[in-house]
Amino acid sequence: MNLQGIYGHNLSYVHKIRVTRRSEIIDTVNAIVPLDQLTISPVLAGMNGLNRGRGATQVAADDDRSAVLAWLARYADTPATLASYRKEAERLLLWCVHQRGVAMSSLTHEDLLLYERFLGDPQPAERWVMTVRQRPGRDSPHWRPFAGPLSTSSQRHALSIINALFSWLVEAGYLAGNPLSLGRRRRRVGPRQTSRFLPHEHWEEVKATILAMPTNTPREAAHAARCRWLFSLLYIGGLRVSEVNSSTMGGFYSQRDRAGIERWWLEVTGKGNKTRIVPATAELMAELMTYRKSNGLSALPASGEGSPLVMPIIGVQKPLARSAIHEIVKGVMHATAARLRAKGEGWEAAAAHIEEASTHWLRHTAGTHMTDAGLDVKAVRDNFGHATISTTSIYVHSEHDARHDATQAVHKIKWDGGRDL
């Protein structure tokens, strides 16, 4: 099937996946390989799946892999979403073929209960879990679909993506029904407050870990500087990991108001390719200049500069992969937890909570601390890109200025303990 011909430019996803001819050295029918290299035997391909729709379909896919690719093609213009959705669809399809021995379009509710358990403990680990510390690329023979077991919250997230896939395939007529629709439905009584953030005392411990990092060698000094800058971006700016990964130094710019006061901003592109501007407070700008000088760059970035926001320690100046950013954050969290446990049993609860924290927790932490400090909810919403920022009113510029001033006044990282900038 020529998917490019069927989906046209919407399948630019095909171009985002570099198809390597590994079939010459790897059995793509029996090996665990990425979706773009996967060959499925006819009996498991889903052309005669037990849950296939029997009427007219709205997609040209005639097998499960093609149906998954058709669904993924819808997200070709949002790389972060595409990568997240591909990962979960890929895991499911590989599990169907190599573990369960059933076509995806024949899955039952009971099958998916088993799959949920599998996500929490993907065994045999040597077949499903990466063993190389630095995660290999998708064209590497060491590639595996898992970095380790998924937490309970990650399992729920994975199944929510699979549910979206099944729902779309039902709507398209490819599947007769959604086997995940029989899952337990939890009643929601109003909005839930997130618990995935670091309270102030835990955040101070994380900062202490970064400030105590060794700097005896050039590599140690570069790693410490990068950690401090990354955590400053994630906390002061409240950025998503995808925004850190995709933005450049050229996104910083300054504007003066009518009184001649200069304010710096960082322009990022977030979910749904929506662009927003984040207040680059005096603290953040000071951290930026320190980080840039440590990398041999000018104090301030030039307009349109292509240097990544967070740079690798060695090698060419290319953006850090999201997985690398996650690993840096988790490394700091693990080090903080280990340091607290060394203090005694009374620190175990704090250590366990910090150890659980992820990169996205820092965004929740920033939002929580902003509101704790009395920052207006609307300013927090706009800082985080939770709503579209109006650009049509003459008052918008003054609203931005007020938001910048309010954010800078109350939301500080205070690496040096309290000196205001």
Q: Is 287 within a domain?
A: yes
Q: Are residues 167 and 217 in the same domain?
A: no
Residue 190 lies in a domain: no
Establish if 419 belongs to a structural domain.
no
Residues 348, 398, single domain; the answer is: yes
* CA 191 vs CA 53, 168, 187, 196, 357: distances in Å: 36, 26, 11, 15, 22
Q: Is residue 417, in this structure, part of any structural domain at all? A: no
What pLDDT, on the 0 to 100 scale, is given for residue 342? 93
Pair (168, 267) in one structural domain: no
Q: Are residues 289 and 166 in the same domain?
A: no
- Given 126, 150, 182, the domain boundary residue is 182
Q: Are residues 57 and 148 in the same domain?
A: yes
Residues in the chain: 421
188 and 319 Cβ atoms separated by less than 8 Å: no
> At residue 324, what is the residue type?
A
- 391 shares a domain with 355: yes
- Residue 374: what pLDDT? 79
Helix or strand (DSSP H, E) at 294: helix 282-294
Q: How many domains does the chain have?
A: 2
Please tell me whether residue 116 adopts helix, strand or coil conformation.
helix
Q: What's the pLDDT tens digit per position in 31-74?
A: 899 999 999 999 999 999 999 998 888 999 999 999 999 999 99
Element (H, E) at 323: helix 322-341
Is the same domain home to 146 and 233? no
Taking only the tens place, the pLDDT of each residue in 70-85 is 999 998 888 888 888 9
Q: How many C-beta neighbours within 10 Å does residue 199 have?
A: 13
Range of the domain at 400: 200-410
Amino acid at 375: L
149 lies in the same domain as 277 = no
- Burial-class residue 251 by CB neighbours within 10 Å (0-12, 13-18, 19+): buried
For the chain, which ranges sit under pLDDT 50?
1-28, 187-192, 388-398
Q: Please report whether residue 191 resides in a domain.
A: no
Residue 195 counted as domain residue: no
What is the per-residue pLDDT for 190?
A: 44
Asked if 234 and 176 sit in the same domain, the reply is no
**Final residue in a domain of this structure, among 151, 182, 213:** 182
Q: The CATH number of the domain where 362 resides is what?
A: 1.10.443.10
Considering the domain architecture, whether residues 230 and 339 belong to the same structural domain is answered as yes
Please, what is the Cα angle at 79 between 75 and 84, to 5 degrees? 80
